[in-house]
Amino acid sequence: MKSIEDFNLKEITEKREYQKSPEAWDEQIFYFLLVDRFASEKEYPLYDQKNDYENALKTEAARQKWLESGEKWIGGTLKGITDKLDYLKELGVSVLWISPVLKQPVYSENYHGYGTQNFLEIDPHFGTKAELKKLVAEAHKKGIYIILDVIINHTADVLLYDAEDAFYTGQEYPVKAFRDKDGKAVVDPNNPDYSTTWPEGGVWPQEIFNLDTFSKKGYIRNWDSDPEFREGDFFSLKNINTGSGRVDDYKPSEALKVLTECYKYWIAYADLDGFRLDTVKHLDPGAVRFFVTEIKEFTQTLGKKDFYILGEITGGMEFAKSICENTGLDAALGINKIPEILENVAKGYSAAENYFSIFTNSQVLSEGENQWYHKRVITMFDDHDMVYKPKHKERFTADKKAAPLLKNAVFLNFFTAGIPCIYYGTEQGFDGSGDHDKYVRESMFGGEFGAFRTRNRSFFNSEHPVCQEMKKLAELRNEYIHLRLGRQYLREISEIKNKDFHLPRADQARCREIIAWSRIFSQGEFLLAVNCDLDKAQKVKVLIDSEIHLPGEKFICVYSSAAEKIGEELEVKAADQGKNYLEIAVPAKGRAIYKSL
């Protein structure tokens, strides 16, 4: 479509039944994928490690082709995702977050989807509007909600400045021209010919195909300087002027109003359940509030009482809480380096307290506000850009020494505060690493840029050990509300023959102790533990809540990586100073959960 005049929201929505929002978003399990890299309609042979590992590197020419392919379109589609919904459902996924799918310039290799050229069309690499609609409908039938990644503050590289090196100085740059279908800057910026530029040149819908849409201030050099990080371009992606003013009296630009209508259209057409709003740090809070308010009010008219909008908010917990409360965003991700710290704690490279304290030491939380974290913070490790690793990207298992602790990382993610999110391929142990984003964006379905440096091999192996473990953990999380919403306490431990309790420590090498924590809900306590030692099973004393449990009371093992332990009952024992504890045993690189009786 060329214009927002080409659709009528009332006509689209009348007499149509829309999917209701879930009762509790914070009790879901999220899964994030890049559409181009996840699944296609073509089925390749299943990967066999013995025979297929690094099959794309057999010659220098083959290696070079694999490397070059990582920066191009590989072939993942919306229909491919639809075909894999059963795989995701079996994994325990209840919310599927998909990367942007709107039209990219034909002259680009924007396989990631974050450089939009037409906000009212699906990129043909991904499929069609009808295929997006079918994906959502089929997901709903399986109890899976769909969240779409959206952008409101930049477009693709659709124009060229009349300057040699247009970096941010605070001043506007003159624009030489908009780009045509071949990427050439030849379209008159002041009076574009819409009829000859459509559909592959310029930027659409027509209402934003003008210079007033853009800030025109060049690319960002200082990513921490305000207003540079709000007004400047993301490298070649051109920044949109979203408006001006304080949060309470913000004046949205015409471009922001138009884009908001575009996203209302996609909700109305495809029955989407939520949005992930890209780069919130780089947006005026007033622009975010305008967008969130408009979208939420519109979706309420469709019967979606809790259309979910989560924002990518880099920064601290206090900043994230402030942004969410001032703008109406439902949740935040990317805060406090959660992915990096979660990964390092699971590997034993960082003290457990560094992760658990994120959720307890916030000065902005008063008594009774602990649930903010459970409802408002998305937690994950592994992701598509790893901004916390600017020079060298690597997935969890790229560290071969600590790779056997991947299941522990999933365990920590699923059973600590926050809303867990899985990045595609983690369940198959993907190990991508390198000095470019592409290395952590491997193809799951095969094609020219497969995981483990392969070509034409599929990785949808439901029998993979990590995949099997995720299924078990998801079932446990769904069974016990304590594991989803319980108050969280990192527990002190002690050696069996020792009376000195302490929090688990990480020495100069790594933590080899047991990390234990409790989730308490409605007077019921679950004690959870992971063993960071790769080689040695450990037995320790772990403090529990002495106000709830008296000596002689029992806990039962509801899960252990040593299956023979499940069903085992442990007796609460008394320590000094009125403290009570359990003696638990956890296998090397293993996990356990004990439930109070």
Average pLDDT over residues 340-344: 95
Average pLDDT over residues 95-112: 97
Give residue 271's Cα distance to chain centre.
21
Average pLDDT over residues 42-48: 96
Nearest to 360 by CA among 351, 369, 350: 369
Percent of the chain residues past pLDDT 90, beyond the cut? 90
- pLDDT for residue 311: 95
Is the model's pLDDT at 367 over the cut of 50?
Answer: no
> Confidence band (pLDDT; 50, 70, 90) for 167?
very high
Is the model's pLDDT at 361 over the cut of 70?
Answer: no
Q: Which of 242-256, 273-287, 365-379 has the least mean pLDDT?
A: 365-379
**Of 187, 216, 241, the domain-final residue:** 241
Average pLDDT over residues 137-150: 98
Average pLDDT over residues 2-14: 98
In a domain, 343, yes or no: no
Domain hosting 216: range is: 154-241
Name the residue with higher pLDDT: 361 or 401. Answer: 401
Q: What is the pLDDT of residues 209-237, one digit of tens each?
A: 999 999 999 999 999 899 999 999 999 99
- pLDDT for residue 365: 45
Is residue 424 within 8 A of residue 26, CB to CB? The reply is: no
Output phi, psi for 545, to 5 deg.
Answer: -75, 110
In a domain, 402, yes or no: no
In a domain, 425, yes or no: no
Average pLDDT, the chain: 95
Average pLDDT over residues 37-44: 96
**Of 241, 258, 291, the domain-final residue:** 241
Average pLDDT over residues 506-518: 88
What is the DSSP code (8-state) at residue 549?
-
Is the model's pLDDT at 335 over the cut of 80?
Answer: no
In a domain, 568, yes or no: yes
In a domain, 333, yes or no: no
Instruction: Take residue 264 and report the two structure tokens written for it.
Output: 């209302």
Q: What is the pLDDT of residues 485-511, one digit of tens each?
A: 999 999 999 999 888 999 998 877 788
- pLDDT for residue 317: 78
**Of 226, 241, 256, the domain-final residue:** 241
> Confidence band (pLDDT; 50, 70, 90) for 359?
confident
> CA 418, 421, 427 angle in degrees (round to 5)?
135
Q: What is the CATH number of the domain that holds 540?
A: 2.60.40.1180
Output phi, psi for 592, to 5 deg.
Answer: -155, 150
Q: How many domains does the chain have?
A: 2
- Within 8 A by CB and 6+ apart from 207, the residues are 3, 4, 254, 255, 258
User: Kind of pairing, strands 251-252 and 243-244?
Assistant: antiparallel
> Confidence band (pLDDT; 50, 70, 90) for 24?
very high
In a domain, 440, yes or no: no
Is the model's pLDDT at 277 over the cut of 70?
Answer: yes
In a domain, 520, yes or no: yes
> Confidence band (pLDDT; 50, 70, 90) for 308?
very high
C-alpha 430/C-alpha 382 separation (Å) is 10
Is the model's pLDDT at 336 over the cut of 80?
Answer: no
- DSSP-based three-state secondary structure for 198: coil
Percent of the chain residues past pLDDT 70, beyond the cut? 98
- pLDDT for residue 585: 97
In a domain, 474, yes or no: no
